[in-house]
Amino acid sequence: MKVLVAGGAGYIGSHCVRQLLAAGHEPVVLDNFVYGHRAAIPAGVRLHEANLADAAALDRLFAAEKIDVVMHFAAYCYVGESVADPLKYYQNNFAAPLALLDAMLRHGVKKFVFSSTCATFGIPEKMPMTEDLPQAPINPYGQTKLDVENMLKAFARAYGLSFAAFRYFNAAGAAEDGSIGEDHEPETHLIPLAIGAAQGLRPALQVFGTDYPTPDGTCQRDYVHVDDLSRAHIAIFDKLATPGAQFFYNLGTGTPTSVKEVIRAVEKVTGLKVPVNYAPRRAGDPPALYADSGKARRELGWTPKFATIDAIVETAWRWHKAHPQGYGDRQR
């Protein structure tokens, strides 16, 4: 199928573009390069550079490309920034997807795959987290994602839109061949921060809180490889043939990994020491967040290929070792 990948030059989107190619589909990238990287787009993949809320640009794109399925990876995802500047997040994470869905309906495209987040659950009632837990976001980032999920439900009922919403846990790692990887500015993800600190390219790693009720006192999270996420997005395609179909899946390995365990994995894989500064807890950090992804495993036949933190870190290290300055298109 011909698949429009909104945000296809970003971290997860660019990995999904490569997985689409590997699966025999035809990706088309839409990106405005606020955070994306041109070098992350494979040669030969068509690119439309535009803002997601630009109705005229979207009309030109859909008229030219005859899209079958749309994937959305174009959200902003900095929790702290969403609290400080919620207007930015509602404009990009809610109003822009609304414009995209409006354009899809105008052009008769009714299959949509949405990159959602476990942040829609807020502070969960239990672990591991299942899809049926109450959703009560505690920041505008999570709220905008939930608002889009609710919008998709309404569009499915009213217009026959078929969609899947994948609620990620901690996306991590890089392409197995080292061709693309993770390069954010600012970088907030633990694994690239730890690797950069070990390389001497970033400051000592800040670890917030060592007194959590976890085995080693540091927060636990569920790290899931970016290519495993991508494969789940492609596995849903056949299920979108039914008009109005709705699917929600949590995507994680189901294994909680602590901050200290990530540091040990980085040191083991790289052979380098990670310099660490310990600091008090940050407000709003739950002790543990990890997925029950049994539904995705049962219904999609999805199994994470990179099931251990060491395997995930190995792919990340391959990228960062070869690209110490990332894609080299921004000042750090």
Residues designated as active site:
141
Half-sphere exposure of 196 (CA within 13 A, CB side): 22
Q: Give the integer Cα–Cα distance in Å for 148 and 161.
A: 13
Residue 121: its H or E element: none
**What DSSP character marks residue 118?**
G
Task: Find the angle CA(5)-CA(48)-CA(69) to the nearest 5 degrees.
Answer: 30
Structure tokens at 220: 């636990």
* Side chain identity, residue 27: P
Angle in degrees, 0-180, between the axes of helices 309-322 and 190-199, rounded to the nearest 10? 50
Give CA angle at 251 (21, 90), nearest 5°: 90
Taking the C-alpha atoms of residue 101 and residue 67, their distance in angstroms, rounded to an integer, is: 13
Q: What are phi and psi of 70, to 5 degrees?
A: -115, 130
d(CA 242, CA 158): 14
| CA–CA distance, 111 with 116 (Å, rounded to integer) | 16
User: Given the DSSP bridges, would you call strands 257-258 and 220-221 parallel, antiparallel or unpaired?
Assistant: antiparallel
